[in-house]
Chain A
Amino acid sequence: MKKMYKAFSGAIGMGLVLTGLALGQGNTTLNALFMKQAAYSEEDVQNMTAEFEKANPSIKVNLEFVPYESLRDKTIAAQASGGYDVVLFDTIWPAEYAKNGFLLDVSSRINKADQNKIFTGAWSTVQSKGKYYGMPWILDTKYLFYNTEILEKAGFKNPPRTFQELMTQAEVIKQKNLVQYPLVSSWSQSEALVADYTSYVAAFKGRFVDTSDRPVFQNGGGLKALEWMVDSVKKGLSNPNSREYAEEDVRRVFSSGQAAFALNWTYMYNLTQDPAESKVVGKVGIVPAPGAVGGAAVSAVNGSMGLGITRTSKLANEAWKFINHLTSQKVQNRYAKNSLPIWKTSYADPIVSKGQEAVIKAANISIGAMYSRPTVVRYAEWSNVLQKALQEALLGKTTAKAALADAAKQVATLK
């Protein structure tokens, strides 16, 4: 009996020691918020995190993946509960996040030696009023995807360099009945529409706001951009269903061979080369989005995203360590198939370019030409107004001029 008692108490003691060790080892848990679609896949992020946890056994990371549409809402709603330590944020949010104290100012944590090694466009994703609110992570812009077979049949050796040329090529493709609607776009009432419009604004050398943050998109390049979009629908060159499409719909239509041209993010390229997802494998070209006659040589919208630390986080050091791991050149180079690195020298690395040489070639030009959507504090409201105005013009409910003039009047009040 005594023996049994000894063995029993020994076992309990051992258990307590082991539990203590285990608790001592993994007592730091980071909560991180990521998105489900586009760029890095969930599996990519899980693998990157597993590598981080292996290298830092005292830190555990809980990952949460939500649709893009929920990313901002979740971050804002978590302010009361202090739910997340690390959050992924879009290039359009830093001004608002900074003003409202959602993110920690990490300017002092940024490694000065890295500043010139990372693209300027990537840095602009995480900045507001000269301060840094995170590290850029996903470097993305919209490219022009084209179906090489359709262009060949239509008699074109090269993809269009300007939107005017795109219109001409699309007209020939339609006349030859190669496809019913040569261009497909993500013009549903969503942020995707504003991102597309931004590309067009960049091509026609328009601007959203002047130096005093007053809206100017209703004139000049901003107006020409929308007029081109409306014109393409009226002429039957843009797929009219674009007005209800998001990026994934665009990918499906283009991948089924029903469109000659599409504007979309980088992620579409690899999926168009997957036979399980695409009927146009080996027939896809990718180049920078066109410029415009009398406008820019190429166009690009800044669609990058960054990783930041919430101001409510009590684990800022650990969170920064995790962010540094995910944004490191070594990690980014290894996972470059779904999202291109933020590091300039990565583009010469064969690990990055292998199998996606065309993407890299286009990226080398597009990344330097990225144009940002307005970096205003009340961007979410700005975008809602713009989305409605753009849709009204695209649906023919009003003219491009009237729609933009009305939108400019509304956003001017959003101070």
Chain B
Amino acid sequence: MTQQTDKKTAWWMLAPLLLIVLGAIGYPLIRTLLLSFTNARLTGYSDPIQFVWLENYWQAITNSAFRESAGRTTYFVLVNIGLELLLGVLVALLLNQAFRGRAIVRALLIIPLALPTVVSAIMWRWIYNPEFGVLNALLTQLGLLGQYRSYLGEPDLAMNMIILADVWKNYPIVALVALSALQLIPKELFEAAAMDGASAWTRFWRITLPSIIPALTVVIVLRTIEAVKVFDIIFVMTKGGPASSTRTLSFEVYQEAFSSLKAGSGAAYSYLVVLISAVLIFLYIWLLRRQERQ
């Protein structure tokens, strides 16, 4: 069999999968992109659709609510990913040590991940409840808080409290990925470094971190995509309140498409969200690659 025939067969074999991928991902993507250049509305009538080209994008960029939400989303993403990385790597380092009950603790790590986001959001709403919540009970009993307070009713605090809830739900992904990367590092490297007199910090900085960075890059990219489009946890916990202080970009997309019934500009808004996550992802990859080279 020639190489040419081999290639042909390969394409034939791949064709069903490619068709599915193109149909399930490519078609909606292109359809939404085309929709974003129109004035299409969500109605029960077949109203004529006109092309307005970049007008929807321009309207989004000049919309102050959209810009404010973009700022809040960026804050959510950066703080959220930062905390998840810190906590995830620390927990992974801990779970990489040998101790009794390690297997059970590793298994427990899966629980937050296994919970549906809506369930975890309702749970955290209860934890933060200003009259009956356990967080208030805990902090007052420890003497850290004088009296019960509101967490989700204060505009300056609500977003941070949602971030904490989201970090709890998602840091195990970082921890699990980091742990698997840690287990691949040859022990001899650490032993040799220790013999050469390298401190624990130096060993972490020179051996551990560079070894797990490729794995972390993947998880950062995945988590960024998720964090930029955050909606469900916020919708359940605060519905974007108080005074819109937790409204993120997905709320603007939702409002434009469903409250205003503007399918065209809703599509444009969602493409802008994709663009923002793409920029953030490229930035991360560039930064991490630079560090890896160093």
Contact = CB atoms under 8 A, between A and B. Distances in A.
Interface string A388-410: 10011001010000000000000
A101 B243 contact: no
A101 B44 contact: yes
A351 interface: no
Contacts of A391: 241-244
B44 A79 contact: yes
Contact of B44 (A102, A189, A392): A102
B111 to A, nearest CB: 25
Interface in A310-355: 311-312
A81 interface: no
Interface in B245-294: 255, 258-261
Contacts of A79: 42-44
Interface string B41-59: 1111100000000000000
Interface stretch (B148-156, B181-189, B223-231): B148-156
B120 interface: no
B260 A381 contact: yes
Q: Which bracket fits the contact residues of B? A: 20 to 34
A101 B243 CA distance: 33
Contacts of B261: 76, 96, 100
A412 to B, nearest CB: 16
B42 A189 contact: no
B259 A189 contact: no
A311 B44 contact: yes
Contacts of A312: 44
Given A73-B258, A258-B131, A100 B45 contact: yes
Contacts of B43: 79, 100-102
Contacts of A243: 150, 153, 241-242
Contacts of A73: 258
A190 B259 contact: no
Interface in B101-158: 129-132, 150, 152-153, 155
B159 to A, nearest CB: 13
B113 to A, nearest CB: 24
A79 to B, nearest CB: 5
A258 B130 CA distance: 13
Contacts, number: 84
Given A241-B131, A378-B260, A76 B42 contact: yes
A189 B131 contact: no
Contacts of A252: 131-132
Given A100-B43, A258-B131, A380-B260, A397 B244 contact: no
A189 B150 contact: no
Contacts of A48: none
A380 B255 CA distance: 9
Given A79-B43, A240-B150, A380-B259, A395 B243 contact: yes
Contacts of A397: 155, 243
A271 B20 CA distance: 51
A188 interface: yes
B232 to A, nearest CB: 12
Contacts of B45: 100-101
B235 to A, nearest CB: 8
A384 interface: yes
B255 A384 contact: yes
A279 B155 CA distance: 32
Interface in A216-261: 240-241, 243-244, 249, 252-253, 256, 258
Contacts of A311: 44
Interface in A180-211: 188-190
B210 interface: no
Given A190-B241, A252-B131, 14 more contacts: A72-B258, A79-B44, A189-B238, A190-B239, A241-B130, A241-B153, A249-B129, A252-B132, A256-B132, A311-B44, A312-B44, A380-B258, A380-B259, A388-B244
Interface of A: 69, 72-73, 76, 79, 96, 100-102, 188-190, 240-241, 243-244, 249, 252-253, 256, 258, 311-312, 378, 380-381, 384, 387-388, 391-392, 395, 397
23 contacts: A76-B42, A100-B44, A100-B261, A101-B43, A188-B239, A189-B238, A189-B240, A189-B241, A190-B241, A241-B153, A243-B153, A244-B150, A256-B131, A258-B131, A311-B44, A381-B255, A381-B259, A391-B241, A391-B243, A391-B244, A392-B243, A395-B155, A395-B242
Closest 10 CB pairs of A and B: A189-B241, A101-B44, A244-B153, A380-B259, A100-B43, A391-B243, A241-B130, A243-B153, A101-B45, A392-B243
